[in-house]
Amino acid sequence: MPPFGFLHMRAWASLFGQLLRSPRAVCIREVHFHSQFAEAVLTSQLKPQQEKSNFIIKTPKGTRDLSPQQMVVREKILDMVVGCFKRHGAKRLDTPAFELKEMLTEKYGEDSGLIYDLKDQGGELLSLRYDLTVPFARYLAMNKVKKMKRYHVGKVWRRESPTIVQGRYREFCQCDFDIAGQFDPMIPDAECLKIMCEILSGLQLGDFIIKVNDRRILDGMFAVCGVPESKFHAICSSIDKLDKISWKDVRHEIVAKKGLAPEVADRIGDYVQCHGGVSLIEQMFQDPRLSQNKQALDGLGDLRLLFEYLTLFGIAEKISFDLSLARGLDYYTGVIYEAVLLQTPAQAQESFNVGSVAAGGRYDKLVGMFDPKGHKVPCVGLSIGVERIFSIVEQRMKTFGQKIRTTETQVFVATPQKNFIHERLKLIAELWDAGIKAELLYKNNPKLLTQLHYCEDMGIPLVVIIGEQEMKEGIIKLRSVASREEVAIKRENLVAEIQKRLSES
C-alpha cells in the first residue's frame, strides 16, 4: 500500500472520476455565485419583520449542516462501505431515531449519561438512539429473529463535549454490519475483520492495523491480577483509555479513583503493555497465571482459531493481538477489535489526529437482555467510523486544493436571443423527458456570456444554443464547454446526439 500523499490523491481522483474539478475553476464559481445574486437581494425588500438583535442563528452545539461538497464526499464513501456490506451478503435494516428510554438503560456502562432524552410531553419516555447495535438487538428480540446478517447506515446522538478538530460531533453517522445467529466458532468473527480490511484498503486511507483482544482474556487477566469481579467493568473502561492517555495516567485512575491496590495495578500493567501476533497468543497460553484461568483460556483458544482463519483470508499481518484493547461498551462478551490508522513520520507533523476508524466485537448476551425469557442470540459485528473517514478525506482534499462537482448536470440550455423563454422551456422539457440532466437560468433575458460562464463554473460539459435563425433553419447548436467547439445539428436529432456524446465521455 503506498504511503499518504500525492499518490493517494491520484487514486482518489480516479475514485471520484469526473466529479473532480480543478481548484481554480471552483474559486471562480464561488465568487461569481455570491456577487451575481447578493446585489439583487440586498437592494430589495429590506423590511425586517421584528427586532431580533440578540437572535443568533446557529445549529445546536456539537452539530452541523453538511454542505453539498461534504455530501458528495460522504455519498462516495458510503457507497463504497455499503458496497462491501452487500458483497458479504448483508440485508439493510432501519430503526427509529428514538427508542423507549428503558431499552437503552444498562447497555452503555459509564457512557449512559451521554444519552439524549426527549421531553416528557405525555405518553412514553423516549431517548435518541446512542448506537445502532442496541436497536438491532431490540429488533431481533422483538421479532424473534434467530439469525440475520444486516447492515445499517444511520445517525446516532451522544451528548459528548464536542472537540470538533478531531471530528467528534454530538450527531454523527454510523455504518454497522452485524451477524446474528448460532454458528461454528470464529467464522463470522473472521468475516467481520475481513470486511474492516476490505473497507480500509478500498478507501486508501494509508496503512492501518487492527487491534484484537477478547473480553474473556481481559476478565481472566483481571481475575488473576486480583481485581474484584465487581470492578471489572469500571477497570475495563479505564484500560480502554490507553490509546489516548499513558499507562501512568491510567494506573493513577484505577488506583486513586477506582480503588485498586497498587500491586494489582502493576500486575495489570505488565499485561496491557503486550501486543503481537500469533506468537503472543502462544506465549499467553504458557503464562503461569493466565493459563490457570478458564475464561482466559477460552478466549485464547478462540483467538488462535481466529488467526488461523485470518491467515486464510490473507489479512493476518494486519491484525495485532493487543492486551490493552478493552472497548468501553458494556455489552461485549468475546472477541473485540479496533482499527487504527498508522501515521508516517511526515504526517506526524500535521495537526490532524486520526485514531480509531472502525471497531466492533462479539456480544452474545445483548439480545437476551431484551427477551422476556432471556433467550440469547449470539452476535458479532463492526462499526465503521465514517465521520473520521469523512474528516480525513475532506482535510486531504483541502490540503491538495481538490474540489468536486456538486451537481451532475450534463446539458445547459442557452440562447443569445431576447424573449426566448418559451423556446427554452419547451426544449429543456424535451431533454428532461429523455432523462437528460439539464439546467437553464431562471431569467427571461439572460446574457449569453452569463450563461456560458455558468456552465464553465459548474463544470457542465455541453450547451445547447437556440436562436431565431436556427429555429427557422430547423437546426440547433451544440457546444462543448471544454473545447468551445460548436456544431450545428438537425433539431430532430438533438436528443440522440446528446445521448451519443454523453455515452462516449
Indicate the burial class of 371 (C-beta count within 10 angstroms; 0-12, 13-18, 19 or more): middle
Choice from 78, 110, 166, 171 touching a second copy (CB under 8 A): 171
Indicate whether 147 belongs to the interface with a second copy (CB under 8 A).
Answer: yes
Q: Is 200 annotated as a binding residue?
A: no
Distance of CA 204 to CAs 1, 208, 339, 343, Å? 8, 10, 14, 13
Element (H, E) at 504: helix 494-504
Q: Which stretch binds a second copy (CB under 8 A): 184-192, 247-255, 348-356, 480-488?
A: 184-192
Choice from 408, 473, 486, 492 touching a second copy (CB under 8 A): 408
Pairing verdict, β 438-439 and 411-414: parallel
Beta strands in 295-373 (DSSP E): 319-322, 335-341, 356-362
Closer to a second copy at the Cβ: 250 or 315? Answer: 315
Q: Cα 364–369–374 angle (5° rounding)?
A: 85
Q: Is 451 annotated as a binding residue?
A: no
Q: Is 133 annotated as a binding residue?
A: yes
Q: Is 273 annotated as a binding residue?
A: no
Site residues (CB under 8 A) for a second copy, limited to 114-133? 116-121, 123-124, 126, 128
Choice from 179, 227, 264, 404 touching a second copy (CB under 8 A): 179
The amino acid present at 384, given as its one-letter code, is I
Instruction: Please tell me the distance from the alpha carbon of residue 417 to that of residue 426, in angstroms, as a whole number.
Output: 15
Element (H, E) at 384: strand 379-384
What is the closest distance, in whole angstroms, from the C-beta atom of residue 147 to a second copy in the complex? 4
Query: Would you give the binding string for a second copy spanning residues 310-349, x where CB under 8 A is met?
Result: --xxx-----------------------------------
CB 367 within 8 A of CB 376: yes
CB 130 within 8 A of CB 157: yes
Closer to a second copy at the Cβ: 120 or 473? Answer: 120
Q: Cα 27–32–37 angle (5° rounding)?
A: 145
CB 339 within 8 A of CB 196: yes
Choice from 31, 38, 164, 261 touching a second copy (CB under 8 A): 38
Closer to a second copy at the Cβ: 70 or 353? Answer: 70
Closer to a second copy at the Cβ: 124 or 263? Answer: 124
Closer to a second copy at the Cβ: 143 or 503? Answer: 143
The total of other beta-carbon atoms located within 10 Å of residue 246's CB is 10
Indicate whether 491 belongs to the interface with a second copy (CB under 8 A).
Answer: no
Site residues (CB under 8 A) for a second copy, limited to 435-474? 435-439, 442-444
Q: Is 151 annotated as a binding residue?
A: no
Site residues (CB under 8 A) for a second copy, limited to 369-398? 369-377
Query: Would you give the binding string for a second copy spanning residues 83-112, x where CB under 8 A is met?
Result: ---xxxxxxxxxxxxxxx-xx---------
What is the closest distance, in whole angstroms, from the C-beta atom of residue 404 to a second copy in the complex? 11
Instruction: Please tell me the distance from the alpha carbon of residue 151 to that of residue 91, in angstroms, as a whole number.
Output: 6
Closer to a second copy at the Cβ: 181 or 461? Answer: 181
3 state SS of 309: helix
Query: Would you give the binding string for a second copy spanning residues 54-83, x where CB under 8 A is met?
Result: -x-xxxxx-xxxxxx-xxx--x--------
C-alpha R_g of the chain: 29
Q: Is 332 annotated as a binding residue?
A: yes
Four-point Cα dihedral 212, 216, 218, 219, nearest 10: 170
Q: Is 158 annotated as a binding residue?
A: yes
Indicate whether 292 belongs to the interface with a second copy (CB under 8 A).
Answer: no
Instruction: Please tell me the distance from the alpha carbon of residue 116 to that of residue 170, in angstroms, as a whole number.
Output: 10
Closer to a second copy at the Cβ: 273 or 444? Answer: 444
Q: Which stretch binds a second copy (CB under 8 A): 279-287, 292-300, 304-312, 351-359?
A: 304-312
Phi, psi of 103 (to 5 degrees): -65, -30
Q: Which stretch binds a second copy (CB under 8 A): 176-184, 205-213, 293-301, 474-482?
A: 176-184
Closer to a second copy at the Cβ: 244 or 447? Answer: 447
CB 122 within 8 A of CB 157: no
Identify which of 462, 454, 458, 451 has the alpha carbon closest to the alpha carbon of residue 415: 451
**DSSP, res 254:** I
- Per the structure block, which three cell numbers stand in for 421? 423563454
Q: Which residue has the cell 437482555?
A: 369
What is the closest distance, in whole angstroms, from the C-beta atom of residue 226 to a second copy in the complex? 27
Q: Which stretch binds a second copy (CB under 8 A): 1-9, 20-28, 242-250, 405-413?
A: 405-413
Binding residues for L-histidine: 131-133, 158, 174, 178, 327, 331-332
Binding residues: 131-133, 158, 174, 178, 327, 331-332
